[in-house]
Amino acid sequence: MPNASPKTALRAWAKLMQNRYLTVISCMLLAGVLAGCGSRDKEPSLLNIRQTSQGPDEFSIVPNKPLEEPPSFSELPPPTPGGRNITDPTPDADAISALGGKPGALARPADGGIVNYASRFGRDAGIRGELAADDLEFRRKNDGRLLEKLFSVNVYFKAYAGMALDQYAELQRWRRKGLRTPAAPPPPEE
């Protein structure tokens, strides 16, 4: 366009730029739509937490207990193939013991009394499967907006906010009824 007027050249340049912007916007929209089009069979995850390092998880490493010399080597118990070793780590029992509890309580079978009391008006044998299916459907409906999915934003607390119990209001409700309640930390400052 060597003989074109500056006005015509400006219009042609604006049209070209407009087409570039439309192309870029179209590509971004297409990428966003494709990112949001995941398989509906995949179980939605509202809590997006990822490990940021490639190293081992320091909380999964449990040291062995120190070796101890028995009082008498002639009175050792016979070995039990497949059984536990006294130097094997027992983190649950160790934590209970460190907090002043009785580590032997872990070996005790569960008390069926509370289960019987809770089911005194009947119980549904398939309730776990039913609740799991309902929760899966709830998570599919509340798995976040397009940009939240695209950037893996944690939407767990927002999705379940309506189901959360206000612990301080509940504490006051029980105290107004005159019932003894355990101590609770003060509400967080907002």
Range of the domain at 14: 1-36
Residue 161, in any domain of the structure: yes
Quick one: which H or E segment has residue 131?
Answer: helix 127-141
Predicted confidence band of residue 116 (pLDDT cuts 50, 70, 90): confident
Residue 88, in any domain of the structure: no
Residue 46, in any domain of the structure: no
Q: Which residue has the higher pLDDT, 45 or 181?
A: 181
Q: In the chain, how many domains are there?
A: 2
Residue 152, in any domain of the structure: yes
Residue 156, in any domain of the structure: yes
Residue 115, in any domain of the structure: no
Average pLDDT, the chain: 77
CA angle 110, 116, 122 (to 5 degrees): 140
Instruction: Check residue 177 and give its pLDDT.
Output: 93
Instruction: Check residue 176 and give its pLDDT.
Output: 92
Residues 58-104 have pLDDT tens digits of 777 777 778 888 888 888 877 777 777 777 788 788 888 888 888 77
Taking every pair of Cα atoms in the chain, the longest distance, rounded to a whole number of angstroms, is 111
Give 126's Cβ-side CA count (13 Å radius). Answer: 3
Residue 98, in any domain of the structure: no
